[in-house]
Amino acid sequence: MTATGRPVRFWYDGQPVEGLEGETLAAALAASGIRELRHTRSGERRGLYCGMGACFDCLVTVDGRASQRACLTKVAEGQQVRSAMPAGTAEDPLQPLGPEAATEPARREVDLLVIGAGPAGLSAALAARRAGAGVLMLDERLQSGGQFYKPLAPSHRAATPADRQFADGLALEGEARAAGVAIEQDAQVWAAFSANEIGALVGGQAHVIGCRQLVIAPGAYERPVPFPGWTLPGVMTTGAGQTLARAYRVAPGQRVLIAGNGPLNLQLAAELLAGGAEVVAVLESAARPSPRQWRQVWTAARTAPDLLRDGWRYLRRLRAHGVPVIWGTAVLAAEGPGRVQAVQTTRLDAQGRAVPGTAQRFEADTLCLGYGFIPSTELARMLGCEHRLADRHLGYPATVTREDGATSLPGVFVAGDGADLGGSRVALARGTLAGAAAARNLGLQATEPAEALGRLQQAERFQRALWSLYAAPPVRLAEIPDDTLLCRCEEIRFGDVREQIRAGRDTLAALKRNTRLGMGRCQGRYCAVTAARLVGELTGRPPEVEQYFAPRPPAKPVPAGALGFEKPEWGGHKPAITPNLARPVVVETFAPMRTEVLVIGAGVLGSCLAYYLSRAGQEVTVVDRDDINLQASGANAGSLHVQLLSFDFGARAQAGGGPAAATLPLGPMSVKLWQQIEADCGEDLEIKITGGLMVADSEAGMRFLETKAALERSHGIEAEVIDGAALRRLSSALSGELLGAELCPMEGKINPLRATYAVARRAQQQGASLLRGCDVQAIERLPGEGAGFEVRTSRGTIRAGRIVNASGAWSSAVGAMLGVKIPVQGAPLQMIVTEPAPPLVDHLIAHADRHLSLKQAASGGLLIGGGWTAAFHPDMRLNRAERSSIEGNLWVARRVLPAVSGLHMVRCWAGMNVNIDGAPILGEVPGVPGFYNAVTSNGYTLAPITAKLVADLIAHGRTDIDINPFRIDRFL
């Protein structure tokens, strides 16, 4: 095996580095002894970790293009590579991540689409193609083979494959190509919108793939193993170390310690020794197999004798080089500073506890961790395929499939380790079965491959025997110190999460909103299962699939500029009916109870009502069908709007724009109340009143702004229209094509992930009660004047003197329980967030002619929205962004702020707006004494003032301002 790639020179942080054409930046940097790559917000450095493009810890800037994964990006002559992101200035701009998108995504139609070119995907594609199906295979890497086959990189060449694993991978790929399978490399599948509509970037260009059948074979990634120092450069997964060694012939370090569970670690150790590296030791968390396990050894020998021989060969090589294999041992900590220099270890007892007095310390510059895998279920969950919880390792969602990979959705198959863990031979057999089944669904003659069924049964018997021999003690998160990082991307520590769980924020959704856990580029891959296990350990509740983070596009971050396409505009929000989304929350039932005031809905409005009512001395109970702050409020982007949105004025406005105009005085009042709440709570709610800019790119748009600003000034809103030159002096990163803007100084932003919880906590401190998992099912008026109401919920019955309907888009359903027609509809809409960026915009940005809301959060990410519609997905039971809305929203954002093209979209989610006539519905309902409405669109901005007005009505019977324009009477 020889290096055949042309030598190239590139620069890393100003220093020349030698590399080989065809190898990755990560490989070239590792060969030069460079470990430190990405900078975190706290100033720490990160290095290569997963080695497969899933963790996003090896990000670098390449020729001005930010956030390039060093493990996937190839070296080139003269590259300028930096560890830091560009400053985003004129002198150091964010370069576009690719060519500007065309007018529409490219479209392709195929019989069968296979996602992933590992063992399962290749075997599925081959079986279907042999049956006559037209097959397209998409794979993210530049070479087929996946994590298992790991083909030799183009920088090297061998006359013959070095071992059977290389040979088998090359042979399978060759068979697939020879049979006519179309394989597209460098193809990132970023979303699955339905079983026959897949979004992908192929060579950086947006594609929409229509398919009659779909096989998802994305493989798995190595599970996280947190301990102090696990984020130091030099700590990486076994897979990353093996990729460097096998594919690029580069040792991951000079003194390598390998730790984990399973035979893959022995293979890596043997391969490193063969390449000349020094292996300090191999630590295996399972206990040494005993003679009593002879049956398992015998089963393994009968079902896969070649693999057993491989294992003995690895052990012989380790013994020959004096490398100890230490059983029943795990890592306690990795020590720095700056990069790993030593590793502390301990023996484990059968319960996974550290055995006192067994600590050891190994000098090592590299620590490779291989403790098992987690299936990549993102696309299957995005489609709404049924999942279950597997209890292996930390536990994880696994796709429910039949033997042939068929899922709960017709025409969708999931094969290999992307469904559940089984190893390469199980994946090969299941892939063949899936490909044949998909071909039969297409009406082709494809007999069920009996040979594959036999191989599958044999491989599964081997897997059961193997993992009986390698049975590791249970994971014990209680042993991990509080200051250890749990979430690598957002730098969230175990102590932070434990504190939240003990305070009652004990679901993954609540933890995410309160700590930002799982909001980083890896999208929860390396923290979600750990956090779920931690919740279970501290609460005693087993995790449930529905409690995991909702699957959202993109499956991995994608260049935002590649997905922007112009779409038709419309007026206002598109109304839609969304059913009751109550999920099971494990809480106790209660005996019949009483309260003076019952608030239905624990979003921001319900929390503010609890705050103001309890402050006024009222006994108040807030109920929510799920957890606090989960629907509209928790999915809100946090804009504080004071001026009218473009579709609330002029020809597109509902009810002629009069109701929306009547709300104008409420905006400044509510912003001031938010500031008072922040001071009272004693927490930083990230309120920034930096002003709002509604931009225009046409003369018609400028005239629209002039007329709108005049109306707003007549209602006491400070507003002025500025020209393009003044606009760029205020916000230099905005497009030079913009002609001007309306400036409204009172606008700004707030962090909705903090504010709702802070208000709710303060309300509870004042005596309010909040009950979650309390789905209101019926309301009955009690006989007698002032007798109040009896409310039946999923947890018990509540008698209340008065009820406040604060259930947002579902307010009409609550009203219907009392025979009250409330003209409110939901308007599911989407939001987009980019990766953290350098400071680009300080203002809240909107557009005169387009649906757009854009701002930069304290975390650095750009929050992009503006009313683009989302839709309810029945299989997932949640609202989800639609492809056309994502494309249209990004197109507008890119035209207003060109730097968007230099950033990756990290997440796109759907929230729920309230669609009325432009004005709130407040106050007591005529004919139903004691029943109040507190319902408003622009809900996050107006929540404090809306809540205060209703609280004043309840507590004092009056308000300081005239609310007649907002009463429900206007609809009668």
Maximum Cα–Cα distance for the chain, whole Å? 94
Note the pLDDT of residue 488.
97
Q: Can you list the pairs that 619-622 forms with residues at least 24 positions away whose Cβ atoms lie under 8 Å?
A: 619/595, 619/767, 620/595, 620/596, 620/763, 620/767, 620/768, 620/769, 621/593, 621/595, 621/597, 621/768, 621/769, 621/770, 621/771, 621/798, 621/800, 622/598, 622/760, 622/763, 622/768, 622/769, 622/770, 622/771
Taking residues 478-506, what's their average pLDDT? 96
Q: How confident is the model at residue 3 (pLDDT cuts 50, 70, 90)?
A: confident
Q: Is residue 89 helix, strand or coil?
A: coil
DSSP 580-644: -------------EEEEEEEE--SHHHHHHHHHHHHTT--EEEE-SSSTT-STTTT---EE--SP
| Rg of the chain taking only CA atoms, in angstroms | 29
Q: Which of 265-269, 572-576, 638-642 has the lowest mean pLDDT?
A: 572-576
**pLDDT tens per residue across span 681-706:** 999 999 999 999 999 999 999 999 99
Name every residue whose Cβ is closer than 8 Å to that of residue 298 and which is 6 or more positions away in sequence: none
H-run or E-run covering 486: strand 485-487
Residue 929, burial from CB neighbour count under 10 angstroms (0-12, 13-18, 19+): middle
In the prediction, which pLDDT does 571 show?
81
Buried b / exposed e along 257-296 (16+ C-beta atoms within 10 A): bbbbbbbbbbbbbbbbbeeebbbbbbbbbbbeeeeeeeeb
- pLDDT value at 15 more than 80: yes
Q: How many CB atoms lie within 10 A of CB 609?
A: 32
Task: Dump pLDDT digits (tens) for 113-164.
Answer: 999 999 999 999 999 999 999 999 999 999 999 999 989 999 998 888 888 9
Residue 613 has pLDDT above 80, yes or no: yes
Sign of CA dihedral 467, 468, 473, 474: positive
> 560 near 581, Cβ under 8 Å?
no
Contact 596, 617 (CB under 8 A): no
The pLDDT mean for the chain works out to: 94
Convert the pLDDT of each residue in 890-916 to its tens digit: 999 999 999 999 999 999 999 888 889
What length is written for the chain? 972
Q: How far apart are CA 480 and CA 484, in angstroms?
A: 7
Block residue for tokens 């009950």: 771
Q: Which pLDDT score, from 0 to 100, does residue 972 have? A: 80
For residue 585, pLDDT beyond 80: no
With cut-offs at 50, 70 and 90, classify the pLDDT of residue 826. Answer: confident
**Cα–Cα dist 639/855, whole Å:** 8
Which residues are CB-neighbours of 927 under 8 A, at least 6 positions away? none
Q: Please tell me the predicted confidence (pLDDT) of residue 911.
A: 84
Look at residue 661 in the predicted model and tell me its pLDDT: 94
Residue 1, pLDDT score: 66
3-state DSSP assignment of residue 294: helix
Mean pLDDT calculated for residue range 585-613: 92
Tens of pLDDT, residues 251-281:
999 999 999 999 999 999 999 999 999 999 9
Element (H, E) at 438: helix 423-441
pLDDT level of residue 629 (50, 70, 90 thresholds): confident
Per-residue pLDDT at 630 exceeds 80: no
Q: Which two tokens stand for residue 284?
A: 């295996």
DSSP per-residue codes, 318-365:
HHHTT--EEESEEEEEEE-SSS--EEEEEEB-TTSPBPTT--EEEE-S
Please answer whether residues 107 and 208 qualify as being in contact, where contact means their C-beta atoms are separated by less than 8 angstroms.
Answer: yes
Report the candidate in 898, 861, 907, 903 with the shortest Cα–Cα distance to residue 97.
903
Q: What is the bridge-based pairing of β-strands 776-781 and 789-793? A: antiparallel
pLDDT in the model for residue 161: 86
In Å, how far are 341, 609, 674, 691, 892 from 634, measured between CA atoms? Answer: 42, 17, 17, 23, 25
More confident residue, 629 or 104: 104
Q: Tokens 């830091």 map to which residue? A: 84
What are the φ and ψ backbone dihedral angles of 534, each rounded to 5 degrees?
-65, -40
Say which residue, 849 or 573, is predicted with more confidence.
849
Cα–Cα distance measured from residue 205 to residue 224, given in angstroms and rounded to the nearest whole number: 32
Taking Cα atoms as reference points, which of 308, 850, 295 lies closest to residue 569? Answer: 850
Q: How many CB atoms lie within 10 A of CB 502?
A: 11
Residue 969: Cβ within 10 Å count: 11
pLDDT digits (tens, 9 = 90+) for 61-97: 999 999 999 999 999 999 999 999 999 999 999 999 9
Residue 258 three-state SS: strand
Please report the pLDDT score of residue 786 as a whole number. 81
Residue 630 main-chain phi, psi, to 5 deg: -100, -35
Beta strands in 394-456 (DSSP E): 396-399, 412-414
Task: Examine the pLDDT at 584 and tell me if it is beyond 70.
Answer: no
Looking at residue 361, its pLDDT comes to 97
701: amino acid identity, one letter = G
pLDDT of residue 583: 63
Q: Going by C-beta distance under 8 Å and a sequence separation of 6 or more, which residues neighbour residue 535?
A: 501, 506, 507, 508, 511, 541, 543, 547
pLDDT tops 70 at residue 363: yes
Above pLDDT 90, what percent of the chain? 87
Nearest to 196 by CA among 136, 249, 117, 280: 136
With 90 as the cut, is the pLDDT of residue 871 above it?
no
Strand partners, 24: 74
pLDDT band at 12, cuts 50/70/90?
very high
What is the rounded distance in angstroms from the CA atom of residue 47 to the CA atom of residue 368?
13
pLDDT-derived band at 221 (thresholds 50, 70, 90) equals: very high
407-421: pLDDT as tens digits? 999 999 999 999 999
Predicted local distance difference test score (pLDDT) of residue 628: 85
Question: For 391-396, what is the mean pLDDT?
Answer: 88
Q: Is the pTM of this model over 0.85?
A: yes
Strands (DSSP E) contained in 835-920 are 844-847, 853-856, 862-865, 870-873, 878-881, 904-915
Classify 724 as helix, strand or coil: helix
